[in-house]
Amino acid sequence: MSKHHVTTTINGEPMEYLCEAQQTMLDVLRDELGLTGSKEGCSSGDCGACTIIVDGNITCSCLMLGVEAEGRKIETIEGIAQGDRLHPVQQKFLEHAALQCGFCTPGFIVAAKALLDTTLNPTEEEARYWLAGNLCRCTGYDKIIRAVLDAAAVMRAEAGR
Amino acid sequence: MASSYDTLKVVGTRPIRPDGVDKVIGRAAFGADMVMPGMLWGKVKRSPHAHARIKSINADKALKLPGVKAVVTAADFPSIPSEEAFVGEGPMNFRDLSRNCMAQDKALYDGHAVAAVAATSSAIAEEALDLIEVEYEVLPHVIDVEAAMADDAPLLHDDLFTQGVEPKPTRPSNIAKKIGFNKGDIAAGFKEAEVVIERRYTTQPVHQGYIEPHACVVSVATDGQCTIFSSSQGQFMVRAYCAKLLGTDIANIRAIPSEIGGGFGGKTLVYLEPLALALSKKAGRPVKMVMNREEVFRGTGPTSGGVIEVKLGAKRDGHIVAAQLVLKYQAGAFPGSPVGPGCMCGFAMYDLPNVSITGYDVVSNRPKVAAYRAPGAPISSFGVESCLDELARELRIDPLKLRELNAAKDGTKTAHGPTFVNVGYVQTLEAAKNHPHMQQKLGPNQGRGIASGFWFNIGGESSAGCFINEDGTATIVEGCPDIGGSRAGMAMMAAEVLGIPYDRVRPVVGDTASVGFNFLTGGSRVTFATGMAVTQAAEKVVVELKRRAAMIWDISPDAVEWKDGMAVPAGANAGNFDPLSLADIALKAGRTGGPISAEVSINAQGAGPGFATHICDVEVDPETGRVKILRYTAVQDVGRAIHPAYVEGQIQGGVAQGIGWALNEEYIYDRNGRLDNPGFLDYRIPVASDMPMLETVMVEVPNPRHPFGAKGVGEVPIVPPMAAVANAIADAVGTRMRDLPMSPPKLRAALDEQNPPRMAAE
Ligand code: FES
Ligand code: FES
């Protein structure tokens, strides 16, 4: 099997890698690039644990091929914090105890960050539907939704300043 | 004792968990996140048949594929005699577990492992699976629990004779066991009753649905020493099972717990680790194995589905005078359903004079069941708590009132034997009654249901160490995988005892070589039992710190007190010395006798019982049969909440799982006994848009046996929801749903039956 050469941007860094044609983006991130923050819960697009942002759109990396990253801008959980400064969603997840096992957490944080990239005024219902592609079996979603809405409030306050 | 910690500084607050940052930035290492140098990838070949004799397995072609390094089958494992195992949660037999990990002679369910392969890449391993040739003789199968109990049912095991019946049966059966509990005189009780109702309910098997699939990386060295890095609810459980299944000494295995991505009981046994070890041994290289979601559904244990027959007899004033329960639980392919706890929990909330309970543990061609949050209790409670609601309607008594009238209290003798102490049930009913939720107005097609639940909670064996560092910080080593924030609780309890800030205490979950034995994370035992070990270790350290201070001051240790993290002289007579902080003492430790640390191993007794009462409001869409959860309030006696946010989280998580169990989740088998919905698309668990906010009310009836009053909290919240939802549906539309899940097509059909749709011609 000959491998494909891919040139892309991951978390703001130019990146090149070789991958096989059938390899998913999730496999590339986890197994080739050592970015194991994105998780595999289903590999069928149903759980959202593998969520990444591709050119601004949330995507299940298990449904995308590694070769499709060519020329794109990819954001993963590893790139959400700015240096040692957590993103407000990350901070609020901690404060609200919005994670129990933490396995779904990277996917939720990436998806929630994308939500807040599009609006800082989500209603509870909007947040619930936006995040309906992410499964969490531990929390019942209550604290996750509260964390996301609280992060939005913090970001609104920051934006207002 | 609770009294020595009257003014709490740390316990009861909501600090950020110590492992939190790693988890929000994607750095925490879960089962599939580890690699070992030179490792191979292992995959499992699974039976496509529900029941089949394995006539032969030929791996020649697979082994010829470049990159394939080893294939193992049952022939590569020692044959193990039948032996009860007290390693995980619930009944287990080493021989059955071995055969569940790798089918021997017969495949007993769709998805049963028949062979495993290790190769240099996962793609090659996958390809090799198709090259392993298995010749099957397909046998008749049985899926349904009552069909499996029939005399002419296909038999799974020729050597399974029903236990618990006299005389001892001479013919094998799928009924592994019959158990019973009796109290008083059931016949007299029903004679005395003025109202008797008898109903039958059913539940379907549901999967724990942890989002992290099973995963491990292992290495077996040529001298037989094994390292296992895996996601489980107990590294000591993994070690014990693997030692037995591989036939090696426990000391040869070091099991390192990864972060665990949910378990809920489903990771209290092993599936992959023994196969990976066998592959690693054969190939001479480390092996990594990770299940995919389909394998999780087909190959690992859900909890039982069951039949619940309830008969209640009561006086017109609401006093229940007779209660009878018959339970038939699916065990899956091997004996060991949670029918025992199901029997014990069903009526445990009530003080009943005459009780008869019978349970059957029944095998059929399904994956072997595994523990799932309060194993067995939600099933029997769905029946009992629904039936109680039907009785309340019949008697025209408020369902909460009916529960109050019959509630168990301190001193109530249970049907299964023990007499209750430290019961907080009535307090949950009281709090539910007074909750504003009960005053919310309901609109058309909306209804309110309540239901209660009980779970034992357990203690058990735990070890922990408390190590004082040179700078006055502390390290806690404990041995129970942290599945929902327990490390935070451990650090908080230690900080409370030591009198230092929470973030000066760092807890870790040690591997099997770093801490004394710990029973697994299960039974809602960790904060109680391991918390007790941590507290005692910290207390031992405080004794030592006082001794060191006494040495420095040259006074008697009795004359030293520990206050707010400092040694102070105990009163004027002790002398006049400036306080010594923990850091001061730690700094001088080398000169006062060496490092300061303590390790404690205990078998914790006296876990307080868990009681909960839930209130659920639903709205039924009569067009589609869809049920929307409008409001949900869960009241629970938690003893004392160490970290209230994680206690709330346990309650909310249990409720959400219960709502999924009530409305959507089920295993669907086709005519050939193959699982039809092994994925999250067709096995639908609740998502964020299905749920409202989940209100929690923590009633605190402290447990006097725990230093801070803690009771287990993780399991009882999944017990009430199914009946709470069913009772709310009955309240909303007058339709009694007795079969789970109460999915839209089923509810729609029930509504149609109740009010036959008018024909267009009419
Ligand atoms: S792993 Fe991609 S959606 Fe589940
Ligand atoms: S925190 Fe465990 S799955 Fe969400």
Phi and psi of B611, rounded to 5°? Answer: -125, 145
B659: closest chain A residue by CA: A140
Strand duo B355-363 + B113-119: pairing: unpaired
Q: Is the pLDDT of residue B262 over 50?
A: yes
Question: What tokens appear for B465 in the block?
Answer: 């160490």
d(C-alpha B153, C-alpha B51), whole Å: 13
Residue A12 sits at φ, ψ, to 5 deg, of 85, -5
The pLDDT value recorded for residue A161 is 63
Average pLDDT over residues B119-137: 97
Q: Which of B287, B280, B274, B293 is nearest to B232 (CA)?
A: B274
- How many angstroms separate the alpha carbon of residue A106 from the centre of ligand 1? 12
The rounded distance, in Å, linking the Cα atoms of B91 and B341 is: 11
Task: Please give the CATH number for the structural domain made up of B306-457+608-754.
Answer: 3.30.365.10
Q: How confident is the model at residue B758 (pLDDT cuts 50, 70, 90)?
A: low
Check CB contact under 8 Å for B693 and A106: no
On whether the A88-160 domain is CATH 1.10.150.120, my answer is yes
- Tell me how close the Cα of A81 comes to any Cα of chain B, in angstroms: 7
Give the integer Cα–Cα distance in Å for A72 and A78. 17
Distance CA(B710)–CA(B11), nearest Å, equals 10
Q: Which residue has the higher pLDDT, B484 or A124?
A: A124
CB neighbours of residue A2 within 10 Å: 7
Find the length of chain B: 762
Q: Residue B424 and residue B408: Cα distance in Å, rounded?
A: 9
Domains A4-79 and A88-160 share a fold: no
A23 has a pLDDT exceeding 60: yes
pLDDT at position B761 is: 46
What are the residue ranges spanned by the domains of chain A? 4-79, 88-160
Chain B nearest C-alpha distance from A71 (Å): 24
pLDDT band at B86 (very low <50, low <70, confident <90, very high): confident
Q: Is 60 exceeded by the pLDDT of residue B79?
A: yes
Q: B675-702, pLDDT tens digit by residue?
A: 999 999 999 999 999 999 999 999 999 9
Helix crossing, B425-433 with B399-406: angle to 10°? 160
Q: Which of B259, B695, B700, B715 is catalytic?
A: B715
- Summarised one tens digit per residue, pLDDT across range A54-67 is 999 999 999 999 99
The beta-carbon neighbor of A101 closest among B25, B27, B261 is B261
Distance from C-alpha of B479 to C-alpha of B255, rounded to nearest angstrom: 11
Rounded to whole angstroms, the Cα distance separating B692 from B659 reads 11
For CA atoms B737, B739, B740, B746, the dihedral sign is: negative
- The Cα B483–Cα A139 span in angstroms is 12
The residue ranges of every structural domain in chain B are: 5-27+459-604, 34-137+212-261+267-299, 306-457+608-754
In the prediction, which pLDDT does B3 show? 44
Q: Quick check: B689 and A132 CB within 8 A?
A: yes
The Cα-based distances of A58 to A4, A77, A81, B24, B432 in angstroms read 24, 12, 17, 18, 41
Stated as kind and residue range, the H or E segment containing B22 is helix B20-24
Given a contact cutoff of 8 angstroms between Cβ atoms, the answer to whether B522 and B370 are in contact is: no
**Ligand 2 pocket mutation pick from A42, A131, A136 by most atoms within 8 angstroms of CB:** A136
**pLDDT value of position B574:** 86
The DSSP bridge pattern shows strands B306-314 and B195-203 to be antiparallel
Distance of residue A70 Cα from the nearest chain B Cα, in angstroms: 23
Q: Which two tokens stand for residue B197?
A: 């109702």
The topology under which CATH files domain A4-79 is Ubiquitin-like (UB roll) (3.10.20)
The dihedral formed by the CA atoms of B227, B228, B229 and B232, expressed in degrees to the nearest 10: -150
Q: Do B653 and A41 touch (CB under 8 A)?
A: no
Cα–Cα distance for residue pair B611/A110, rounded to 1 Å: 37
Question: Are B293 and A43 an interchain contact pair (Cβ–Cβ within 8 Å)?
Answer: yes
Q: How far is the CA of B233 from the centre of ligand 2 (A)?
A: 15
Q: Is B514 left (phi over 0), alpha (psi -120 to 50) or beta?
A: alpha
- Cβ atoms within 10 Å of A12's Cβ, excluding its own: 10
- The residue written with tokens 């008898």 in the block is B198
Handedness of CA A103, A105, A108, A110 (dihedral sign): negative
Cβ-based burial of B439 (10 A; exposed 0-12, middle 13-18, buried ≥19): exposed
**How confident is the model at residue A2, as a pLDDT?**
86
Q: Is the pLDDT of residue B721 over 60?
A: yes
Q: CA-nearest residue of chain B to A96?
A: B645
| pLDDT of residue B454 exceeding 60 | yes
d(CA B186, CA B191): 9
Q: What is the pLDDT of residue B134?
A: 98
What is the pLDDT, as a whole number, of residue B755? 84
Confidence of residue B759 (pLDDT cuts 50, 70, 90): low
pLDDT for B471 equals 96
Q: How far apart are CA A81 and CA B610, in angstroms?
A: 40
- What rounded mean pLDDT belongs to chain B? 96
B333-359: pLDDT as tens digits: 999 999 999 999 999 999 999 999 999
- DSSP state at residue B739: B
Residue type, A90: Q
Burial of B367 (0-12, 13-18, 19+ CB in 10 A): buried
How does pLDDT run across B1-51, given as a tens digit for each residue? 344 566 899 999 999 999 999 999 999 999 999 999 999 999 999 999 999
Report the chain A residue with the minimal C-alpha distance to residue B657.
A137
Class in CATH terms, B5-27+459-604: alpha beta
pLDDT (tens digit per residue) in B188-230: 999 999 999 999 999 999 999 999 999 999 999 999 999 999 9
Q: Which member of B14, B27, B646 has the closest CB to residue A37?
A: B27
Q: Which residues of chain A does B21 touch, with a Cβ-Cβ cutoff of 8 Å?
A: 86, 94
Closest CA to B691 of A124, A116, A46: A124
Residue B666 falls in the annotated catalytic set: no
Residue in the structure block whose two tokens are 């300043």: A161
ipTM: 0.98
Question: What class, spelled out in words, does domain B34-137+212-261+267-299 have in CATH?
Answer: alpha beta
B contacts of A39 (beta carbons < 8 Å): 30, 32, 211-212, 261
Comparing CA positions, the residue from B65, B69, B97 lying closest to residue B83 is: B97
